[in-house]
Amino acid sequence: MPTPVELDALWLSLKVATIATLVSLPLAMLAAWLLARTSFAGRTALDAVVHAPLVLPPVVVGYLLLMALGARGPVGRWLDSAMGIRLAFTTGGAVLAAAVMSFPLMVRAIRLSLEAVDGGLEWAARTLGATRLDAFVSVTLPLMLPGIVSGAIVAFASSLGEFGATITFASNIEGETRTLPLAIYTAIQTPDGDLIALRLVGLSLALAIGALALAEVADRRVRRMLGRP
């Protein structure tokens, strides 16, 4: 049976991944919409920034976050003095690291589904009396739901496994930022920690299988709702 400390790591992982997914979802939808349906001067730059975490080593992303948002970073100092928010070496930092790292995956899935929706349907809705927002919400949004669901699931799963950026930016503090991967790493580094590591790996596996099953159920529901096979 896992010990309370190990269950803490599991619980923390779930918490970090869930919050990271929920926080990035609206931003990812906005980014996907900007990239798929608009053209503005900084579009290529936005595309590059969104995709950067996919191609940069996670340690580099973590270090960049630390430079910007750490206690002595320009944004970090302002956040601390103006709002009393500290991100480096906190659970909030772990959430941010996970969110940034999984963001490109989420944007990609949502953007692909948005591009697959015929833009002419929104015009049809407009001629039927729907405002721009109404047309998006009642036509485009439901049709891109499969992409939103799969984007959220991919982001959640990758957040559960996030390691490099987290340990660099949020460090490895028990009960605070030590998520499952960090706990496994710590156990491996400890003499005679093999059994602990094995149990944590078992927890990881169970979590992964549970997430996959949930994804399958969600996908089926959405498809049935849209009347697709």
Partner 1 sequence: MIEVCVRRRLGAFLLDADFAAPSQGITGLFGRSGAGKTTLINLMAGILAPDAGRIAIDDLVFCDADARVTLAPEARRIGFVFQDSRLFPHLSVEANLRFGLRRRRQAPCPITFDAVVDVLGVDHLLPRRPQTLSGGERQRIALGRALLAQPRLLLLDEPLASLDAPRKAEILSYIERLRDQFRLPMIYVSHSLDELIRLADHLLVVSDGRIAAAGPLADVISRLDLQPLLGRFEAGAVVDCVVQAHDPHYRLTTLRFDGGQLRVPLVDRPEGERVRVRLRARDIALALSEPRDVSISNRLVGTISDFAVRDGVFVDVTVAVGTTTVRALISRESKDRLALEIGQRVWALVKTVALDNRSLGLLRPPRATDRDAGRE
Q: Which residues bind partner 1 (CB under 8 A)?
A: 118, 120-121, 123-132, 134, 138-139, 142-143, 225-227
> Which residue, 131 or 190, is less far from partner 1 as judged by CB?
131
Quick one: tokens of 227? 């009347």
Q: CB-based contacts of 122: which residues, under 8 Å, 6+ apart?
A: 132, 135, 136, 139, 140
Least distance to partner 1 from the beta carbon of 129, Å? 4
* Residue 221 C-beta: closest distance to partner 1, Å: 13
Please identify, using beta-carbon distances, which residue of 142 and 161 lies nearer to partner 1.
142
For residue 142, the minimal CB distance to partner 1 (Å) is: 5
Burial class (CB in 10 A: 0-12, 13-18, 19+), 209: exposed
Measured from the CB atom, the residue of 116 and 213 that comes closer to partner 1 is 116
Task: Give the residue with the Cβ less far from partner 1, 81 or 127.
Answer: 127
- Give the DSSP H or E segment for 7: helix 4-37
Counting other chains too, the contacts that 143-147 makes at CB distance below 8 Å and 24 or more residues apart are 143/113, 143/117, 143/226, 144/110, 144/113, 144/114, 144/116, 144/117, 145/113, 145/222, 145/225, 145/226, 146/113, 146/219, 146/222, 146/223, 146/226, 147/109, 147/110, 147/111, 147/112, 147/113, 147/114, 147/116
Q: How far is the CB of 143 from partner 1 (least distance, A)?
A: 6
Q: How far apart are CA 184 and CA 129, in angstroms?
A: 56
Q: Which is nearer to partner 1, 116 or 214 (CB)?
A: 116
Q: Which is nearer to partner 1, 122 or 162 (CB)?
A: 122
User: In the bound complex, what is the minimum distance in angstroms from residue 113's beta carbon to partner 1?
Assistant: 13
Compute the least distance from the CB of residue 136 to partner 1, in Å. Answer: 13
